[in-house]
């Protein structure tokens, strides 16, 4: 299989950096384009007309901040000689990741997982799990912390 386009979702947190770094490394070694994807997840709020207007302003501000952060991240990757572009999507994270990957005809999605388990996983769900279940292309999931760091934490307990 030829990998031409790799999508790497990012929320600009240190947790998502591992997925982006691995996606960049893969894209570089495979000669693929890297697409950094940020999803703006607007909170659903019921309210009066003013509330809807205020929410639209908040969403615009979130999109503006995301666009700036994405442009910085893309520029940093391009400086290393990697073909890269940024995309912003709106909606629920998992659905937006899958929809964007489909629309862009991505060959691979690479994302770090938060590693939630138990009640936290049950309550919050797993974006990575939902992406794996519904994506048309392969999905590479990575723990947000490298194995050595997890092993050191386990030994300290």
pTM over 0.85: no
User: Using CA atoms in the order 144, 146, 150, 156, what is the torsion angle rounded to 10 degrees?
Assistant: -130
pLDDT band at 16 (very low <50, low <70, confident <90, very high): confident
Q: How many CB atoms lie within 10 A of CB 91?
A: 14
Instruction: Tell me the Cα Rg of the chain.
Output: 17
Higher model confidence: residue 43 or residue 82? 82
User: CA nearest 110: which of 81, 80, 143, 86?
Assistant: 143
CB neighbour list of residue 64: distance below 8 Å, 6 or more residues apart: none
Cα–Cα nearest to 97, from 61, 66, 132, 69: 132
Token pair recorded at residue 134: 């519904």
The token pair at 10 is 């990012």
- Averaged pLDDT for residues 22-28: 96
Number of Cα atoms under 13 Å in the Cβ half of residue 96: 18
Query: Mean pLDDT, to the nearest integer, of 64-89?
Result: 95
Inform me whether the pLDDT recorded for 124 exceeds 90.
no
- pLDDT tens for each residue of 94-121: 999 999 999 999 999 999 887 655 444 4
């Amino acid at each position: 299989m030829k990998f031409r386009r790799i999508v790497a979702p990012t929320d600009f947190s240190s947790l998502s950096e591992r997925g982006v770094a691995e996606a960049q490394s893969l894209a570089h070694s495979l000669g693929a384009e890297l697409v950094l994807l940020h999803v703006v997840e607007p909170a659903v709020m019921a309210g009066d007309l003013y509330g809807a207007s205020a929410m639209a302003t908040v969403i615009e501000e979130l999109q503006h901040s995301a666009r700036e952060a994405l442009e910085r991240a893309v520029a940093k990757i391009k400086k290393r000689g990697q073909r890269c572009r940024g995309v912003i999507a709106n909606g629920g994270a998992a659905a937006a990741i899958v929809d964007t990957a489909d629309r862009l005809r991505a060959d691979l999605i690479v994302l770090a997982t938060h590693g939630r388990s138990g009640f936290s996983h049950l309550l919050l769900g797993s974006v990575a799990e939902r992406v794996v279940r519904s994506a048309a292309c392969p999905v590479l999931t990575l723990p947000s912390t490298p194995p050595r760091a997890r092993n050191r934490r386990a030994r300290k307990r």
